[in-house]
Structure 1
Amino acid sequence: MIALGRLLFALTALLLALAAGVLFAIVVTANGTTWLHVVQVLLLSICCLWLAWGFNTAVVGIASRRGQRWRAPVVPGRLPGRTAILMPVYNEDAEAVLARVAAMIEGLRGIRKLDRFDVHVLSDSTRPECVVAERRATFLVASALEAGGHLFYRNRTKNIGRKAGNIADFVTNSGGAYDYMLILDADSLMRPETMVEMVARMDADPELALLQTQPLIIGRRTLFGRALQFSAALYSPVFSRGIAQLQGREGPFWGHNAIVRTRAFAAHCGLPNLSGKPPFGGHILSHDFVEAALLARSGWKVRVDPDLHGSFEEAPTNLIEYAKRDRRWCQGNLQHGRLIPAPRINLWSRISMVTGIMAYAASPIWLLFLIVSLLDPILAPAPDYFPADSLFPVFPRPETGKALLLLLGIFLLLLLPKTLIALRTAFSRRAPAFGGAANIVLGGALELALTSALAPIMMMFQTKAVVEILAQTDSGWPSTDRDDEGLPLGVAFEASWWMVIAGAALLFTTFFYAFELFLWVCPIAVPLLVAPVFISLTGNPAFGDRIRRSGLLATPFEIDPEPVIRASERWRRRLADEVAAREAPRSALPASASDKPQLAPHPA
C-alpha cells in the first residue's frame, strides 16, 4: 500500500512540474525559440518539481487524521530497558545546557522513572573556559539533585568525527550498558512523559530501531526567532504527518530528539571516512540521514511519530547564525551525492538523500533561472515585423492567459499549504492555544510576509554556500550562538554587503535594459538592497518583544509553558546566580559561607 502511495505522490509531483514546464514553454517561445528559452524551461521545471514535492507532503499531512496515534498506546508499569540520554556539547553555554538537563532529571524523578534513565553530557568542547563551565555546572546540578548516580560528564580531548564521532565514542565505551539511547542536541528539551512513552514504544516493537519526534522551537525573542517557532508550532506537525505517511518504516532521522536501539545502532551505523579532503571527503557531516538509511537497509524500522508531543529545541535567533548553521548542513547534504549509489540502500532512502540535496541546490537553480530570464530580453534581437518570407506584417503573440495561469499555479504551490493549515487551525479546538483565531490568521499572514521577504536573502546565502562547497571550501564545525543578544547593523552589513550590490545591480539592469521586468524583480531586488537593515531588525530582541506584546506569532508553549519548560528557565536563573556568586570576590562572602555549597540539595 505504501509503495502505491509513494508512486502516486511522485507521479503527481512530476505531472505538476511537467504542466508548469509546458505552460512556460508556450509563453516564452510564442515568438520563436532560442537556447536561452530551453535553459529557462529546464530550470523552471526542476524548481517546480521541488515545489510540488513540498506541496504534496503538506497535502498528505493535511489529509491524514490529526489525532491519529502512530502506535498503540503503551502505559508501562516499570520500563524493562535502560536508556542513556545523550547530550552532546560543543563550546555551548554550559549553564543553559545543564539547566535543561536538570529540568529533565527533575521531571523523570517526579514521575518515578529516573531509575531507568542516565544522562550523559558528552563534551567535545575545545575552549578551556567552556570545559571549566561544563564541569562546574554538572557538579552543581548533580549535587543539588543528588543525582550523581544518574548524571555523567566527559570531555574528549580529540573530537574525532565531530558529533557522529562523539556518539560513536559513547557507544564504543559505554553503549553496552544501555538498551536505548535518547539522542539530544545541546539545545534540546523533552517532556519526561514523552521520554517514557518513547521507551515504551521501542519495547513494544522489537523491529523498531529508531523513533524520531518532531522537535518544536521554543524560547526565542527576536522577530526572526519568533517567526521560526510560530511556523514550527503551526505547520511542522502537519508536514511531519505527511512525512510519516510517505516514508513508513524508512523514516527520517534529524540527528536529535530521537531514540535509537543501541545494539542496532552499534551493529549497522559505523560511518566510514569518505576518501579525499573536505568538503566532499573526510567525516560525514549530515550523518543522521546516512544512519537512518543504514538501519533501513538492514531491515530495521525507522519511524517518525507525529503524535509524540513535548519535544523541543531552540534555534538561531538571527539570520546570520541561521545561515552559519545552514552552511554546515549544506555541506553535509551535498556530501550525500557520493553516498546515493551505495550498495543495498533502499530506494526511498536514496530519494530522501536527493531531497536533502535539493533543499540547498534549489536556491542556485532559482538564481540561475532569474539570471537567464534577465538575459533573454537583453540578448534578444530586435523584433522583425516584416519578415522576408511573408507578404503581411507579423506581430508578437502575447500568451497573457497562460502566463497568468502559470503564475497562479506557482503561488498556489508556495502559499496554499500554509494558508490551509492556518485557516484549519484557526477554526479548530487548537485555536485558543495560539491566542485565538485572529492571532493565528494575522500571525500566519505576518510569518508568510516575513518569509517571502527573507526568501531572496536566504537564496543568496544558500547559493553562496553551494558555490563555496563546489569550490572545495570546508565549513568546519562552528558552534551555534543561540542567545538573544541582538545584531548590530555593522555586523549585518559585513555579512550581507554583497547582497546590497547584487540587489542594486539587478534593479539597475532591469530598469535600463529590460524595463518590462522591473516590477517583477522588485520583490527580489529590494530585500537584497536593504538586507543589512532587514537582518539587523529581525535579529533585534527588543523589536521581537514588541511583537510579542501584540500577541502576534504566539505559540502554545509561550502562552502556557509546559512544566519542563518552566523548570528549565528556573534552573537557568538558579545556575546563573550561582556562577555569579562564585565569581564574586571571596572577601565579599561571609566567612561561614565561603566554603559551603551554594545550591541546596534537592528534597528527597
Structure 2
Amino acid sequence: MEKRVTNGQAWWLRLLTLSFAAAVSLTAGIAFLDLVGGNRPVLIDWVRTILLVLTGFWLVWGGTIGLLGALSPAPRAPKKRPMPQGKTAILVPIYNEDPLETFSRIAAMNRQIVARGFASQFHFAILSDTTSLEVAAEEASEFERLIVEPEAPGRIFYRRRERNVGRKAGNIEDFIARSGGAYDYALILDADSLMEADTILTMAQRMDDDPRLGLLQSVPVVIGARTLFGRMMAYSSAYFSKYFSRGAAMMQGEDGPYWGHNAIVRVRAFASCCGLPVLSGKPPYGGHILSHDYVEAALLARGGWKVEVDPELGGSFEQGPENLIEYAKRDRRWCQGNLQHRRLIAAPGLKFWSRFTFVQGIMAYLASPLWLLLLAASLIASVLPDSGGERWGVTPWLIGIGVLTTLLLPKIAIAIRGALDGNNRRFGNWRIIPSVLGEIILSTIIAPVLLAFQSRAVFQILFGFDGGWPATERDARAVSLNTAFAASWWIVVTAIGAIAFMAFVGPAFLPWLLPVAAPALAAPLVIWATSRGGDSPVSQWLFSVPSERAPSPIITEANAILSSWRATEPVLMSGRVETGVHAPA
C-alpha cells in the first residue's frame, strides 16, 4: 500500500471508531435496561445490561473495522524498485513438523529467488526445536534433498537446538544472538508458510526505502484446505481478510501488529528492542510469554520503530487447521498467551495503542464467557420475580437482530465493494452470494461450539491450568465420531441442562435459546461433519478460492516439488548434516 495512513490520521480514526462503538453499545444498553427493567430495574437487570454493553462494544468495534476496510479507497499500484540492498535471512522455525512438506516449500521459495537473480541477498535458516528423535532424523534426511537445490550450499542452513528454551520466540532470539549480525533483515516464516519471491523482494525493498521501518507484516491467505471446516476458513481468509486488515491498518498506522510469521523485521531493531522477559511465577500467567508477537510489536513501537501491516502485498500464504479440534487446540495456546498480557498492559514506556492492542487481545477471549454469562443471567431473569421477565419476550429477538446486523453488515459491504473493484471476479461473480451465505450459515452453526471451547479455555486458565505449547498437527483432517464426542461431550451435557432448565421453568422462552443450544447439542456431529466434505462438489463450488482457481506460481512449484519428493525414497549422504550449523556470523 504505497499511500499509508500517518499516525495523526490513525489517531483520528481510532477516536472516531472507538467513540462510535462506545455510543452504539451504550445506547443498546440503555434501551435494553429500559425494556427489561423499566423504571425499577433490579440487580439481575443491571448485570445483564453491563454484560451486553461490554460484549456489544467489542462486537461493534470489530464490525466497524470491516466496514472501514470495505469503504476505504483502493491503494495505488506499488512503484517498481531496484534490487534490494540489504541482506535478508529467511527464518523457518520448526517444532515436530512434517519435514517433507516444510522443506519442499523452502525448496520452492529458493528456486524462485534463484530464478529472479538475487540469491546472494537471501539466505534460509531452518531453526529446529524438534523434540522427537524420529522427526529430527527425518529433518536431517530431508535436508539432504534441500542442500542439493540450486545455489543451496552456503545459503541454506539447518540447526537443531537440544533445549527449546523460550519456544519459538527463544528459537528466533537464539539465531539473532548467534548469527543476526550477518544480516540486515530477517523474514520470519512458520513451518507452513509460503511466499512468492516477488513478495519477499518487495518487503526487503520496503525496508531499504524506510530506515525507520522496524517490522512489515503481510496478510497471509489460507491455502491447501481439504475439509469443509478448512475450506470455510480458507474462503473467509481469502475473501474477507484483506478488507478487515485494510481497515485495521488504517487505524494502527505505525503501531501495527505482528502475527509471528510472514513478516520481515529489521535485525538491528529486533535485537535492540525485543528481548522478552520471563514472567515471574508459574504458568499459565508466569513463565515464557506465549503470544510473543504482540509483545515484540509493542517493544518495537516503544523503541521508536514503525510497525506496519500491508494487506495489499499479496503472495503470502499459510495453512490452517482442518478441523474444530485442531483449531481449538491452537486457540487454547493463543488464549493463554493473550491472557498473560494483562501483566504487561502497564509496562513502562509502551504506546497507548500497544496497550489497547493487549486489551483487545484479552477481550477476544473473555468475550466468549461474557456472552455465556449474559445467556445464563437471562435464563435466570426470565423466571425471577421483579426482574423484567414479563417484558423479556421480545428482548432476545432484538438482541439477536442487533448481533446479526453487526456481524453481517461488514460482509455485505465487502461483497458490494468486491463487485465495484473487481475482486469478485477472482472468486466467480455469480458464486459470491451463495458462497457468502454458505460461509455465514456454516460459521453460525459452528459459533456456539467455538464459544464453548473458548469459554472452557478461559476458565481453565483462570483456575491455573497450563495448556503448554502442543505441537500442531497441520495434516490432521477427518475426525471420527468417537473422537468428536470425546472432545465435546461436556458441550452436549451443558446444552441438555440449559434446554431442560428452560423447558421446566420457562418454556415460553425456549425458542430463543435453541439457536445457541441446538448446535451445541449437536457438537460431536458438527465437529465430525465439518472435518469431512472438503472434496464434495458442493463444498468445492461454494468455497472456491483464487489459490485453487488460478494457483499462484509458488503454490504450483511447491506442490510439484512435494509430489516429486514423495515419489522417491530419501537418499542419505552421511556427513553432510551438522546439527550445530548456523548461518555465518
CA deviations 1:393-439 (Å, max 9, x no partner) are xxx66895x876554333211111112212432454222311x2221
Report the identity percentage.
46
Secondary structure at the counterpart of residue 570 of structure 1: helix
CA deviations 1:182-228 (Å, max 9, x no partner) are 00001100000000000000000000000000010000010000000
1:433 correspondence with 2:426: yes
Counterparts of 1:82-231 in structure 2, within 5 Å, are 82-231=87-236
Distance 1:280 1:199 in 2: 36
Counterparts of 1:309-348 in structure 2, within 5 Å, are 309-348=314-353
Query: Structure 2 vs 1, CA of residues 19 and 399 (structure 1 numbering), >3 Å: closer, same or farther?
Result: farther
Query: Structure 2 vs 1, CA of residues 197 and 42 (structure 1 numbering), >3 Å: closer, same or farther?
Result: same
Query: Structure 2 vs 1, CA of residues 66 and 116 (structure 1 numbering), >3 Å: closer, same or farther?
Result: same
Secondary structure at the counterpart of residue 27 of structure 1: helix
2:302 aligned partner: 297
Counterparts of 1:576-591 in structure 2, within 5 Å, are 576-579=566-569
1:415 correspondence with 2:408: yes
1:551 aligned partner: 541
Pairing partner for 1:75 from 69, 72, 81: 81
1:60 aligned partner: 68
1:31 shift after superposition:
7.3
Pairing partner for 2:367 from 354, 362, 367: 362
TM-score (norm 2): 0.94
Secondary structure at the counterpart of residue 275 of structure 1: coil
Secondary structure at the counterpart of residue 253 of structure 1: coil
Contact 2:238 2:545 in 1 (8 A): yes
1:364 shift after superposition:
0.4
CA deviations 1:72-122 (Å, max 9, x no partner) are 62411x321100000000000100000110010011111112111000110
1:587 aligned partner: none
Contact 2:382 2:392 in 1 (8 A): no
Query: Structure 2 vs 1, CA of residues 383 and 132 (structure 1 numbering), >3 Å: closer, same or farther?
Result: closer
Query: Structure 2 vs 1, CA of residues 89 and 548 (structure 1 numbering), >3 Å: closer, same or farther?
Result: farther
- Which runs of no fewer than 5 residues in structure 2 stay unpaired? 1-8, 577-585
Secondary structure at the counterpart of residue 165 of structure 1: helix
Counterparts of 1:169-568 in structure 2, within 5 Å, are 169-380=174-385, 400=394, 406-426=399-419, 428-434=421-427, 436-540=428-532, 543-547=533-537, 550-568=540-558
1:389 aligned partner: none
Secondary structure at the counterpart of residue 90 of structure 2: strand
Distance 2:521 2:527 in 1: 11
Query: Structure 2 vs 1, CA of residues 459 and 149 (structure 1 numbering), >3 Å: closer, same or farther?
Result: same
Q: Which moved more, 1:180-189 or 1:375-384?
A: 375-384
1:66 shift after superposition:
2.7
Contact 1:23 1:403 in 2 (8 A): no
1:20 aligned partner: 28
Q: Which moved more, 1:507-516 or 1:169-178?
A: 507-516
1:602 aligned partner: none
CA deviations 1:537-563 (Å, max 9, x no partner) are 1011xx110046651111111111111
Number of residues of Structure 1 aligned to a counterpart in Structure 2: 567
Distance 1:183 1:95 in 2: 19
1:144 shift after superposition:
3.7
Which letter maps to 2:409? L
Secondary structure at the counterpart of residue 568 of structure 2: helix
Contact 2:67 2:409 in 1 (8 A): no
1:33 shift after superposition:
1.9
Contact 2:302 2:351 in 1 (8 A): yes
2:581 aligned partner: none
Secondary structure at the counterpart of residue 44 of structure 2: helix
1:390 aligned partner: none
- Following TM superposition, the consecutive aligned residue runs of length 4 or more in structure 1 with deviations greater than 4 angstroms are 381-384, 396-400, 402-407, 547-550
Query: Structure 2 vs 1, CA of residues 377 and 346 (structure 1 numbering), >3 Å: closer, same or farther?
Result: same
CA deviations 1:121-153 (Å, max 9, x no partner) are 100000011111111111112114341221100
Distance 2:138 2:553 in 1: 26
Secondary structure at the counterpart of residue 221 of structure 1: coil
Distance 2:27 2:352 in 1: 26
1:506 shift after superposition:
1.5
Distance 2:134 2:85 in 1: 40
Contact 2:289 2:337 in 1 (8 A): yes
Contact 1:325 1:480 in 2 (8 A): yes
1:68 shift after superposition:
3.8
1:573 aligned partner: 563
Contact 1:220 1:484 in 2 (8 A): no
Contact 1:30 1:399 in 2 (8 A): no
